[in-house]
Structure 1
Amino acid sequence: MSHEVEDETTINESYSITVPAAIRREAGVEAGDKLRWRVDEEGTISVELVKQHYGAFSRLEPVDIGEPTHAAEDHDLVAGDT
């Protein structure tokens, strides 16, 4: 971030908030990102931006293990189970 930006928002009746545009721009908030909320012993609220990572596995190459697999059927198998 290049400089400090401060803004405020109002909590609506359903306890939803809107992140102000100036804050979104300065922090680089994008759709799919998450906000991690914390409250310390003094009651101070802090918010951390957790960026959504897309394509985390897109660079992985498939590995031939010598037998066919079926993810929908095999996903709960433990190593060694057949």
Structure 2
Amino acid sequence: MPNAPEHAGPPPRRVTRVTVERGGPVVVEGPVEVVTDDGSVAVSRRFAVAICTCGRSAAYPWCDTSHRAPRPPAAEGR
């Protein structure tokens, strides 16, 4: 059919935007459920959330901007 849509079926779902910030968190449009490596689930109903990638957040898995703090100098010989 010349006027038929290319793809029949249900309308596409809304695309979730994920933004990767170099040296910072991963920002995900919410609401979200995050499953951590130990199997626990963290839920946020916010419109966007920042997921920690540095491992230093006291609010893990959520980013608390700990990545902005200077890192202690590495010990010599390591």
- TM-score normalised by structure 1 residue count: 0.24
Higher RCO, 1 vs 2 (CA within 8 Å, ≥6 residues apart) = 2
Greater share of strand: 2
Larger Rg: 1
